[in-house]
Structure 1
Amino acid sequence: KKYGGQGGDNQAYVMLVEELSKACGTTGVIVSAHTSLCCAPIYE
């Protein structure tokens, strides 16, 4: 697949954001916003 990525699912994404947010809440928000607001519309 051309834009298939790493093959992660929604659960892996949520776990990633949770773990990042434990260390730094701002980083978790940045990753979440970037993924949902920027990457998803481009992918579709």
Structure 2
Amino acid sequence: MIENPVITSMLNRKSVRKYKTDQPSDEVIETVARAGQQAPFASQLYS
């Protein structure tokens, strides 16, 4: 295989997630949900 630092980084990457135990407020959940509904997708066929 060809040695390439970018490809090597891509192949060796890993995701580490650490979650908190506290819950977000209802206001935060509502804000994130509304922002997600405004995100562009599929050529704006449903907006």
Is the shorter-chain TM-score for this pair beyond 0.5, marking a shared fold?
no
TM range (shorter): 0.3 to 0.5
User: Which structure has more helix as a fraction of its residues?
Assistant: 1
Larger radius of gyration: 2
